[in-house]
């Protein structure tokens, strides 16, 4: 792996582990898969450009339920963040800013070139 690939792998693993830990440690009244689905609906929103799709959005009850899940997850992480102290919190804030920048870059991905197929070998008729 290259250094960039190592960094990408470490970043993804750390983010997934932290999110998984927060979800497993938090106390909320719904299965994790349901909470994740609410978060995806909230994040992605309806897609009116695609007439084939069924549009879904959060109801007020779903919005409240998602807020409760997010509060519960934040509460379990809060004491650990407090242990970092001022400098650690500042570095965490800086890391969040970098992660947000990375996410913004994914909204406008670099187009990957489509490989040109190799020419077919000449056919010899016998």
Question: CA angle, corner 78, sides to 75 and 80, nearest 5?
Answer: 130
Residue 56, Cβ neighbours under 10 Å: how many?
13
Q: What are 67-91's pLDDT values in tens digits?
A: 999 999 999 999 999 999 899 999 9
Q: Please, which residues have CB within 8 angstroms of residue 28's CB and are 6 or more apart in sequence?
A: 35, 68, 69, 72, 73
Residues of the chain with pLDDT under 70: 109, 111-113, 115-126
DSSP SS3 for 75: helix
* Percent of the chain with pLDDT strictly greater than 70: 87
Is the CB of residue 42 less than 8 Å from the CB of residue 70? no
Is the CB of residue 28 less than 8 Å from the CB of residue 67? no
Domains parsed from the chain with CATH numbers? 6-106 (1.10.10.10)
């Amino acid at each position: 792996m290259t250094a960039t690939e190592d960094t990408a792998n470490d970043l993804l693993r750390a983010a997934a582990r932290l999110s998984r830990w927060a979800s497993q440690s938090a106390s909320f009244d719904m299965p994790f898969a349901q909470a994740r689905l609410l978060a995806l609906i909230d994040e992605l929103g309806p897609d009116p450009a695609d007439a084939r799709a069924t549009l879904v959005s959060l109801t007020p009850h779903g919005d409240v339920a998602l807020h409760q899940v997010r509060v519960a997850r934040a509460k379990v992480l809060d004491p650990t963040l407090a242990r970092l102290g001022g400098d650690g919190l500042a570095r965490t804030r800086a890391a969040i800013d970098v992660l947000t920048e990375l996410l913004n870059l994914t909204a406008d991905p670099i187009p990957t070139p489509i490989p040109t197929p190799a020419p077919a070998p000449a056919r010899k008729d016998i």
